[in-house]
Amino acid sequence: MTPISSLHRPRRLRRKSAMRALLRETGLRSTDFLLPIFLVDGQGIRSEISSMPGVFRHSIDSALQLCAEAEAREIPGVLLFGVMDSQSKDAQGSASWQSDGLVQRASLAIKEQFPDLLVLADACFCEYTDHGHCGVLNTHQDRDDPATLENLQRLALSYAEAGVDVIAPSGMVDGMVQAIREILDAARHENVAILSYAIKYASAFYGPFRDAADSAPSFGDRRAYQMDPANRREAFRELQLDLAEGADMIMVKPALAYLDLIRDVRERCDFPVFAYQVSGEYSMLRAASQAGFLDWKGALLESLLAIKRAGADGIITYAALEACDWLS
């Protein structure tokens, strides 16, 4: 490092706005963001999620309007989640892999109207199973990973057939990336990419999402498959495994409480790294702003900038549209 003498005064470089702009090391642009969309069955539905003010569940027609807004702001893609009513759920989550399923229909509709917008789809079962766990359970009420992987292959294939560009497995099932890559390649969908939620912690910050997607486990929790928030080295093993299995891109989740992991992963691999500003992070900032304790715009942009500065190539955020409106 260059030695710094007491003659240096950092403030010289901060006093003027033009100087600050010239010397700014990190920036946000609309192409950094991906917008998650919660889908519901029906027509003309746009219902606000009580624990996530400003975020809505959309029927496909309404989701298409949101896609138009995303495209107008040059957001490169949307990440789809299906929200099921309780009659559509079963022990396996079979509604997830139907060719006329909610996410599949939405993807086809988006591809038809917005062929240049990337469609990413979350691949997990917790929104589709009647017990709310991320896969099939065995008789001991523990997740049966081989059976879950088979279902994940069904799900991946149905997504690829519906034109999904990027499959994002989020269930932390060992071997999930390889299982998906194998079925995609065998079915000649070699151009479909995998964004693995490789480093996903068992986090309290998913609370509002589970309300939004009605996906909270009916018993127990997800600590038997998601990572322990106390662990760092374990993340590197997850990273290596998913890259070895063929992941094209890696996700760290949540973002703000795990900036150290974003930085670590950035330094340890040359693959694109994404960070998910999860529901709890969004709601925390939103609620505090609504109460008048924080400035929403300032706090949001600062948190997104921090995620970028930590080393993320892209950020999944519920506030993508608003953030874009405030850039530049």
Binding interface with ligand PBG (CB under 6 A): 122, 124, 126, 134, 170-171, 206, 209-210, 215, 222, 278-279
Please report which helix (H) or strand (E) contains residue 194, including its range.
strand 193-200
Nearer to ligand PBG, 157 or 278 (CB): 278
Separation between Cα atoms, residue 274 and residue 272, nearest integer Å = 7
Which uninterrupted H or E stretch holds 38?
strand 33-39
Alpha helices, DSSP H, located in the chain:
17-23, 60-72, 102-113, 145-161, 176-186, 207-212, 233-244, 259-268, 279-290, 296-310, 320-326
Tell me the closest approach of the beta carbon of residue 65 to ligand PBG, in angstroms.
22
Which conformational region is residue 3 in: left (phi greater than 0), alpha (psi within -120 to 50 degrees), or beta? beta
Residue number, 251 or 324, with CB nearest to ligand PBG: 251
Cβ closer to ligand PBG: 90 or 267? 90
Q: What is the Cα–Cα distance from 295 to 289, expressed in whole angstroms?
A: 6
Pairing of strands 46-49, 249-253: unpaired
The residue with tokens 């997990």 is 124
Residue 4 CB, nearest approach to ligand PBG (Å): 42
- From the list 16, 89, 253, 297, the catalytic residue is 253
Give the nearer residue to ligand PBG in terms of CB position, either 187 or 216.
216
Question: Residues 42, 16: contact at Cβ < 8 Å?
Answer: no
- Backbone phi, then psi, for 310, in 5-degree steps? -65, -20
Does 16 participate in catalysis according to the annotation? Answer: no
In the set 16, 111, 200, 297, the catalytic residue is 200
- Distance in angstroms (rounded) separating the CA atoms of residues 1 and 200: 35
**Of residues 247 and 278, the one with the C-beta less far from ligand PBG:** 278
How far apart are CB 252 and ligand PBG at their closest, in Å? 13
* Distance of closest approach, residue 86 Cβ to ligand PBG, in angstroms: 18
Closer Cβ to ligand PBG, 25 or 223, answer by number: 223
What minimum distance in Å lies between the beta carbon of 132 and ligand PBG? 9
| Burial group, residue 167, by CB count within 10 angstroms (0-12, 13-18, 19+) | buried
- Tokens (6 digits) for 235: 């993340």
Closest approach, Cβ 138 to ligand PBG, in A, equals: 19
Tell me the residue nearest to ligand PBG as measured from the CB.
209
Concatenated DSSP letters of 45-103: -EEEETTEEEEEEE-HHHHHHHHHHHHHTT--EEEEEE---GGG-BSS-GGGG-TTSHH
Q: Which residues are catalytically annotated? A: 200, 253
